[in-house]
Amino acid sequence: MYQAQHNEQLLSELVANLSYKDWVVTVAFYTAMHYVEAHFFNDPNIIHSDTSIPIDNQGKWLHTPHVWRMELLRNNYPQDVWKSFRSLYNESRIARYLLSQSGKAVTTDAQTHWTDAEAKDFVNIDLNTIKNSLGFC
C-alpha cells in the first residue's frame, strides 16, 4: 500500500505539468498494480498474484505475472476494475515498448502518443475506478 501511495505522489507531480505523458501512464499502471496487490493481500484465495500463478508439470508458470494478475481481476472482481486495469496495462506497454496490444510498432513517440486529456483520464478515470472499486478512496 505504501508503494501505491508513493507512486501516486509522483503521479500528481507528473499530471501537474504533463511534460512526460509516457511516464503518467506508466506510473498510473504501476500505482494501480500496487493497489490491486494490496487488495489481493487481504483475499485469502489470492494473497499475492505471484504466489498463485498456476504451474505446469515441469514447474514452469503457465502465465506471466501481469497476465495472471489480469486473469485474477477478470474472474474475481467487478468488470470496471478489470477494464480499467487492462487499459492501463495496454497503454503502459505502448509507453514502455512502443508496441500496441497486437504487437505492432507504434509510429508516434511515447511522449506525443496521448493528448493531455487522455493522460489525465488514465489517472482521473482508470486509476480512480480501480481505487474506488477496491475501497482505496
- Can you read off the three cell numbers belonging to residue 36? 490491486
Q: For residue 130, what is the domain's CATH number?
A: 1.20.120
CA dist 108 to 92, 99, 123, Å? 14, 10, 22
Rounded CA-CA distance 71/52 in Å is 11
Domain count, the chain: 1
pLDDT by residue (tens digit) across 62-80? 999 989 999 999 999 999 9
CA distance 28 to 91: 10
DSSP 3-state of 1: coil
C-alpha–C-alpha distance, residues 23 and 92, integer Å: 8
Here the cell at position 106 is: 507504434
Domain range for 62: 2-134
Residues 101-106: what's their mean pLDDT?
Answer: 70
Residue 82 sits at φ, ψ, to 5 deg, of: -60, -45
State yes or no: pLDDT of 116 exceeds 80.
Answer: yes
Three cell numbers at 88? 492501463
Mean of pLDDT values over 36-59: 88
Q: Name the most confidently modeled range: 71-80, 89-98, 109-118.
A: 71-80
Its pTM surpasses 0.85? yes
Q: Residue 43, Cβ neighbours under 10 Å: how many?
A: 13
